[in-house]
A = this chain, B = another copy of it.
Amino acid sequence: MELWQLTAAEASRRMEAGQLTSETYTRALLERIRERDPLIRAWSWMDAEYALRQARERDREPRRGPLHGIPFGAKDVLNTRDMPTQHNSPIYYGHRPNEDANCVAVLRAAGMVVMGKTETLEFASGGRKPLSRNPHNPEHTPGGSSSGSGAAVGDAMVPIALGTQTGGSTIRPAAFCGTYGMKPTFGRISFEGAKHYSVQLDTIGLFGRSAQDLWLTAQAFRLTGAEAPPTGSAAGLRIGLCETPMWKDATPDGREALHRAGKMLAEAGAKVSTLVLPEPFDRLTEQQDVIMHEGGRGAFLPEYFGAGHLLHQEFRDKVENKRGFTSEQMRYVIDQVALRRMEFEKLIGDLDAFMTLSTPGEAPHGIKSTGDAAFNRMFTAMHVPCITVPGLTGRNGLPVGIQFIQRRYEDEKLLRVAAAVATVLDPATAGSR
């Protein structure tokens, strides 16, 4: 096994045991990047020498914790005090904020090496497309808007990355790129220093090469307790499988994959039941869309006033409220979503997880679109924590992710479920951790 193939958890164990230095590991990842990134284009900014300098500094220090010396990538809508933050917007070419986003500062404080910035859809919202390609087949999209973070972790250029999710921007690219992704409970990781879009939805997302990688990253943010997650067993897990109102958008191999995953888990001893979401949930995706777009009225005002000619028309339309959202409509959709939150969690009850697809199916062909976020938007709106677990593939051999969901603030419980189901759905990774 090559060093770049290690999960963060395994690299951490080797460093802890004195068998691996941050410099050696970082160098191996940089080699991987040098080889692969001309094709995959996961990175919008990278300085190999600077990454190595950080790694050497970490090697000289006492270890601060399990992530000490592990490199990560940061989506280019997250401010970094030592690298450009360009939002894939010509307004921000060469822009260098001198403060870290809260989430970047936390991982830096944990001793991690900031490897570089990853490609994003313009302002993680619309407009200019990222250049990234799917590492499993470069003719396909890696998903978005955290396209570079998904592609970089999916291609093992870096074991951990940060993204954001306002619609489906973390779970979708993680699933398309065949890796692990987590959208924590809304608000549990501060959004300070990230480009805002909708304050009711904006969430920091995590990418890792295994459920343990997600656990370690979540731990740095204090979403979990101090110990490593049990690898667990799927036996005895009570899981509610749900096709959701988006089933009509799922592809045949997406549909097949969800039911196959349900069978695999049942065969491993999980109690898989079937859930149906009542009719009002049919409108959640549309309601999320209203809340998200309306957020753009205020979020992009400075760019609109200060450099409107460089701002993509999509953002000008948001600021000018071209869709004509009304006060009454905003109150209605926000309150409807709040009611669905309560009903959804009552439905989950004491199940170990709600289970559905992460995306409609495999990553679509081409990179003009980052694919459909249908299976993400309602869960983002409901503020619940979501994790996508890889392992299954569709007819093109591309990954199909299975999404597990818990009630708000049950991030730790969900991380344990992810570790357990990964032993069934993704045994190769779960075995090596």
Contact = CB atoms under 8 A, between A and B. Distances in A.
Interface stretch (A44-52, A141-149, A274-282, A297-305): A297-305
A327 B222 contact: no
A186 B295 CA distance: 11
Copies of this chain present in the complex amount to 2
Contacts of A338: 335, 338-339, 341-342
Given A305-B109, A335-B338, A338-B338, A190 B410 contact: no
Contacts of A188: 297-298
A314 to B, nearest CB: 17
Interface string A220-252: 011000000000000000000000000000000
Nearest to A198: B187
A295 B299 CA distance: 21
A342 B337 CA distance: 12
A192 B187 contact: no
A100 interface: yes
Nearest to A320: B222
A187 B291 CA distance: 11
Nearest to A195: B192
A100 B302 contact: yes
19 contacts: A105-B301, A105-B305, A106-B301, A109-B301, A109-B306, A110-B305, A187-B198, A187-B200, A190-B196, A190-B299, A192-B195, A192-B299, A222-B319, A327-B407, A328-B409, A331-B408, A338-B338, A338-B339, A338-B342
